[in-house]
Structure 1
Amino acid sequence: MHIRRFEPRDYDAVVNVILPIQRDEFGFDVTVDHQPDLRIIPEFYQRDLGDFWVAEADGKIVGTIGLVDIGDGLAALRKMFVAAEWRGREHGIAAKLLGLLLATARERGIRAAYLGTTDRFLAAHRFYEKNGFAEVARSDLPASFPVVFIDTKFYVHRLDA
């Protein structure tokens, strides 16, 4: 398994990781049209201090993570997904994706990374909390944070502490 920057040729594979998790595992009635950022990953994520990475195993994309520069030394973590068969400590994909994102954010001078998630992603909540994220109220998010319509729970990881 290795992690690399997203390339436009990865578009279909990224969608094929994300949509089944959202729709089949968690029952969200969501399509690519509800997530316009997926159609413009280089323009949306890979600009300013942001980026987007994919985890590849056996020649197949099995995980994704995005970092959005939201200005003023702040960023949003978006689109962190790992295919079900590649989850767990034995693979360590989620931890490696998050580790790369946080290290890159620090190197680029980002002071804090925020994320939004749904109350249905219970395992994700534990993962984020174990990795230094603290829950914050929606009202405490920066004005520039891109809230997604399904997000109900929010976290921050302070990188300058």
Structure 2
Amino acid sequence: MQIMPYQEQYKQQIIDLILHIQNDEAKIDLSLAEQPDLLDIPKYYERNGGEFLIAVDNGDVVGRLAFMNYGNGNAVLKKFFVRSDWRSKKLGLALYEQILQTLQNGGFTTVLLDTPTVATASHRFYERAGFVRIGKDELPFHYEFPHEDSYIYLLRL
């Protein structure tokens, strides 16, 4: 397994993995049309100083994590997904640690993320990593998140 920056050849696998986890596993019913960032990853992530990592094993995308640069030291973690058969292998932690290192090296000071309220395992992961759940009225910068039935988490670096 290798963690690497986004490569166009894996675009459809990335989309398929995300939609499967969102809709088949978590039952949150998000369409591709509601997530235009997935159709142009370089535009939404890489060109603005963000990063989009994928984990690939024998040609198959098994995980991914990205962040968007919101300027002024602010970032939003996005699309943190690990295929079910890789969840007990610390792949999520490896992706997170690599993104965290990039954020720290890049001078980011504030990181937000949103996660569905039903994703309780994710909540535990974020809280162990130092994130604190906040209310929408506590957002430190303007951020419109895609799914209303979500919790927002904040990490100060």
Q: Give TM-score, length-normalised by structure 1.
A: 0.93
Cα deviations across residues 40-69 of structure 1 (Å, max 9, x unaligned)?
111101123311000111221100111100
Alignment: residue pair count: 157
Instruction: Spell out the pairing of 1:98-109 with structure 2 (5 A cutoff).
Output: 98-109=96-107
Q: How much has 1:150 moved relative to structure 2?
A: 4.0
Q: How does 1:38-57 map to 2 (within 5 A)?
A: 38-57=38-57
Whole-angstrom CA distance in 2 between matches of 1:151 and 1:63: 23
Is the alpha carbon distance of 1:9 and 1:150 closer, same or farther for their aligned partners in structure 2, counting shifts above 3 Å? Answer: farther
Which one-letter code corresponds to 2:107 in the other structure?
G
**Corresponding position of 2:19:** 19
Question: Could you tell me how far apart the structure 2 residues matched to 1:149 and 1:59 are?
Answer: 31
Over the matched positions of the two proteins, sequence identity in percent amounts to 33
Instruction: Give 1:27's aligned amino acid.
Output: K
TM-score where L is the length of structure 2 = 0.95
Secondary structure of 1:20's aligned partner: helix
Q: Do residues 127 (structure 1) and 125 (structure 2) align?
A: yes
> 2: CA distance between counterparts of 1:80 and 1:49?
18
1:141 and 2:139 equivalent? yes
Aligned to 1:87: 87
Structure 2 residue runs of 5 or longer lacking an equivalent are: none
Q: Distance in 1 between matches of 2:146 and 2:28?
A: 13
Superposed displacement of residue 137, structure 1: 1.1
Structure 1 residue runs without a partner (length 5+): none
